[in-house]
Amino acid sequence: MSASPHKLRLTLGLGFLAFIIVGSLLLLAWLRQREREESNRLFQALAKADAEFVRRMNLPRSEKLAKDLKELLGVSIVFLDRSDMSPAVEQLLQSEIKRGKVENLNARQQSVVVELDSHHYMEFFRSTPASSLSLRDPATRNAFITFWFVSALVGWLLVRERLKRAQSERLAMLGRVATSLAHDIKNPLASIQLHAQLMSPQNEEDAQAVRLIENESEVISGLVNQWLHLANPLPPKLTRLDLTDCIRRVVKNMEPQARHAGVEITLDLPPPVFIMGDSPRLAQAIRNLVINAIQAMPRGGKLMVSGQSIGSCFQLRFADSGTGFSEQALAQGTELFFTEKEGGMGVGLNIVSGVITAHGGSMKLQNDPKGGAVITVLLPLLST
């Protein structure tokens, strides 16, 4: 099974951080190399200009001149008499001149040789310059800022694309599974519903059992449709409906499950509130919210479902007495496949969010300061 979106984000985030660190080190190495090359170029230019000056002025090739030039230029200079050299040494100097590079004598000293005339060479020495790179330097700082910005942009695009592809793969797999399950479940479910409708209960107890079968069959049918909708989402079929009546019907059907879990559901809803909505989908969304609240209170508790009109919207509030949302759930609770429940699939709140959004509404996850989780849903009222 592929990694969850959270683990995938963490993996990609760590990979991106490693890329930034390695890239920054490589950028620093490249800038230092450029700095050395520029410093060596200036050193060579200084040596050639100084040799040209001595040649034109026909100055004496003496130790005194070398000392004076050192004080003036800040580099050591030695005049080499070609007549005192062995062929091997002169060949080595000619090779250095031909390469045209600054030679590193050791870790602390560099030299460059310039041919002065037919009898002399000039050799210049200097201490290997230390790097002056610093984020205080505007050019260096701008180079790093540009690199970090471009890397962040590219990284964000890659992560977003990778997450989209991972979700597409999951949805494709889910579509195949949902279609197969829908086919295998709907046929026997239709048979159960038909036989329940044909039954003639002899007493109230039998009638209650038949109603329970019908209600649970509707729940199963809603779950199947929920998975099919997740695999192949279609726009809602909007009709004029009483939202509070829809909520009351869902809660009534959920009461047996709530009682079994030791959860008391209290309704505080105003008179009929009309909206344009898709009744089956809204019922499924409300059912998911009630189920989530019941599951959040494994030792029993209370669930308050309340509503009020606020301007042009109707605010629906689900407040339970459970432990509340974790920080991660507050941030990612409506993401597809995110779950903190053992054995959970992480689709319930995502479907609710999708249904509410498709109806032009919004949903917010919160924790009550006094304890428990609060889910607030806003839906637009029907214009009169």
What is the domain partition of the chain in residue ranges?
5-127, 236-380
Cα 140 to Cα 146: distance, rounded to the nearest angstrom: 10
Bridge partners of residue 20, in order along the sequence: none
Q: Give me the amino acid identity at 122.
A: M
Residue 201 in tokens? 């209960």
pLDDT tens digits along 121-174: 999 999 988 887 777 778 778 888 888 888 888 877 877 787 778 777 776 776
CA distances from 313 to 53, 238, 273, 284 (A): 88, 17, 10, 20
Q: What single-letter amino acid sits at 305?
A: V
Per-residue model confidence as pLDDT tens digits over 4-40: 556 766 777 787 788 888 888 888 888 888 888 888 8
From 292, 263, 363, 372, select the one nearest 324 (Cα to Cα). 372
Contact criterion met (CB below 8 Å) for 303 and 263: yes
- Is the four-CA dihedral 143, 147, 153, 156 of positive or negative sign? negative
pLDDT value at 269 more than 90: yes
The listed CATH number (3.30.420.40, 1.10.10.10, 3.30.565.10, 3.40.50.300) that belongs to domain 236-380: 3.30.565.10
pLDDT band at 257 (very low <50, low <70, confident <90, very high): confident
Of 34-38, 151-155, 214-218, 267-271, least confident by mean pLDDT is 214-218
What is the pLDDT at residue 102? Answer: 83
| Model-wide pTM > 0.75 | no
